[in-house]
Amino acid sequence: MICEPIGTVPELEARVGRTFITDEDKAMAGAALEDAAAIARTYGNPYWGCHSVSTFSTESEPVVVNGVAARATGMAVPPGVKAVVLAMAARAIRNPDGFVSETAGEYTYRLGENRAIGLEPSQGEIQMLEKLAQKDKIRTVEFKRNVIISRRRENPYDENGDVIWDESSG
């Protein structure tokens, strides 16, 4: 399976507010985008922007992704996913080591905890990815209290339909 990038280096430059000049900066930005896209696909839909590589039938037109012909079997990337991926990558570029605070002499600079998480998506971003992947429809509910139901009290009839207990039997 071949996956298209979610977001580009120029789009990331626009969010960060600077141009990546060196090849090292461009490579770091590209790696951050790839990692953020992989994380977004993990929380959301693994087929966003992906195409399968296979033989082509006469009915389907091949799609060229990174120089490889593929059949378009994946899903389009919702715009919200692109926004989350670019935000995650921008955090990683701005603060690659994940520092929360920095002190120089009497000057102290402190980031909010949610801005220092780097590539890790915030709780709101996870919820957005799940919603865009339509994973928010089903939830698991944990029961906190065990409930014991007596079979005799719950079902007062045996297999033949005869009453096996009544009010007088307690």
The pLDDT tens digits for 6-57 are: 999 999 999 989 999 999 999 999 999 999 999 999 998 888 888 766 555 5
pLDDT at 163: 62
pLDDT at 2: 78
Q: Does the predicted model carry a pTM greater than 0.85?
A: no
From residue 66, alpha-carbon distances to 2, 55, 109, 164 in Å are 8, 17, 42, 73
Sort strands 68-71 and 2-3 into parallel, antiparallel or unpaired.
unpaired
154 Cβ partners below 8 Å, 6+ apart? Answer: none
pLDDT at 112: 65
User: Taking a C-beta distance cutoff of 8 angstroms, is the pair 7, 85 a contact?
Assistant: yes
pLDDT at 166: 60
26, containing H or E segment:
helix 23-43
Give tens-digit pLDDT for 106-129: 888 776 666 556 778 888 899 999
Residue spans of alpha helices (H) in 44-121: 79-94
Give the CB-side neighbour count of residue 50, counting CA atoms within 13 A: 13
